Amino acid sequence: MRIAVLEDEPTQMSHLVDTLENRLFNNADEPVSCVPFHSGEALRSALRTESFDLLVLDWNVPDLDGFQLLAWLRKQRESTVPVVMLSARNSERDAVCALDAGADDYIVKPFRPLELAARIRRLVAPAQSTGKGVQERFGDWVFDRSVSSVQFHVVAGERARWVSLSNSEFHMALALFRNLGRAVSRTHLLDRAGRDSEPSNRALDSQIYRLRTKLRLNVENGLRLHTVYGQGYRLELCAHDGPAAAPQAQRAAGMASAV
């Protein structure tokens, strides 16, 4: 999971990053990478070309505060990324304003690390379950983290098959499915690829080509994976009378069902 953290106070930033990277999940199957930002304008600039699975925003920061950034974000076409607002403002009115503006949760400082982690886990928790803690389901595509494999139907009515992927291919594919309909930046994909992937655009393009082939990400299966100029790649549903195996977007925020 890739998280953008907006906080201008160094000690608070360190505390936040430590909480998110070390307490959010209890296993290595879901690594967390935090990208720190110390001003709202810096994060807004990054959001024009970068992608994140979650934003954690402090209200009071220089030049463009967290509330103003949230309002700008929710006016954008791809504004479905979950947002947690942090603030020392403890009035009911401030909390309501933030939630009405599009925040998914509002937490008053000083935050309690375990509570913050629990709230975020609830926020990104799956709407449905496959019954197995190592699997995530997107329509008829099932990702199994324990073996880095994906199960799907190649042809409607045909028995599902499992396809083995390298660790980097698996995590990149998972990032694309989790962000169905949203552009995923090259940096985001390379970050998800981990250490077994060459950190280059050419290597990334090659891996994307292999994923498109291995997982049959094509119009016949109701999906389209294409390049977004200046950003990265977008996996999206497309109008086609193909199999019902096409994944369905979950919770309107693009966070697909997971386990």
Q: Which residue has the higher pLDDT, 153 or 156?
A: 153
The per-residue DSSP string of 47-90 comes to HTT---SEEEEESS-SSS-HHHHHHHHTTSTT--S-EEEEES--
pLDDT of amino acid 247: 38
Q: Tokens for 153, please give them.
A: 């139907």
Render pLDDT for 119-136 as a digit per residue (tens, 0 to 9): 998 887 654 344 445 778
d(CA 72, CA 225): 27
Residue 255: predicted pLDDT: 32
Domains, the chain, with CATH or none: 2-123 (3.40.50.2300), 135-237 (1.10.10.10)
Q: Say whether pTM exceeds 0.85.
A: no
Residue 74 has pLDDT above 80, yes or no: yes
Q: How far is CA 254 from the centre of its chain?
A: 8
pLDDT for the residue 250: 36
Q: The tokens 């299966």 sit on which residue?
A: 221
- CA–CA distance, 247 with 257 (Å, rounded to integer): 10
